[in-house]
Amino acid sequence: MEKPQNPAVDWSRHPRILRTAVVLRSGGVVAYPTEAVWGLGCAPAQEAAVRRLLALKQRSPDKGLILVAADIGQLEPYLEGLSTGQRQTLADTWPGPVTWLVPANGRAGSWITGQFDTLAVRVTNHPLVQGLCRAFDGPLVSTSANPQGRPPARTALAVRRYFGQQLDYITPGQVGGRANPSEIRHLVSGQIARPG
- Is 132 part of any domain? yes
- Establish if 60 belongs to a structural domain: yes
Asked if residue 2 has pLDDT above 50, the reply is: no
Instruction: For 115-157, write each residue's pLDDT tens digit.
Output: 999 999 999 999 999 999 999 999 999 999 999 999 999 999 9
| Separation CA 80–CA 103 (nearest Å) | 9
| Assigned domain for 38 exists | yes
- What are the CA-CA distances from residue 185 to residues 40, 129, 166, 174 (Å)? 21, 21, 32, 26
Give the separation between CA 108 and CA 164, rounded to whole angstroms. Answer: 30
User: Domain range holding 37?
Assistant: 11-194
Tell me if 60 sits within 8 A of 41, measured CB to CB: no
Structural domains in the chain (count)? 1
- Is 188 a domain residue? yes
Task: Evaluate if pTM is beyond 0.85.
Answer: yes
Cα 148 to the center of its chain, rounded Å: 17
64 in any annotated domain: yes
Rounded Cα–Cα distance for residues 182 and 161 (Å): 24
pLDDT in tens, 30-52: 999 999 999 999 999 999 999 99
Mean pLDDT, rounded, for 80-109: 96
The CATH number for 95's domain is 3.90.870.10
In-domain check, residue 1:
no
Per DSSP, the three-state class of 112 is helix
Q: Is 160 exposed, middle or buried (0-12, 13-18, 19+ CB in 10 A)?
A: middle
Closest CA to 71 of 118, 121, 4, 10: 121
Give domain status of residue 125, yes or no: yes
Is the predicted pLDDT of residue 5 greater than 70, yes or no?
no
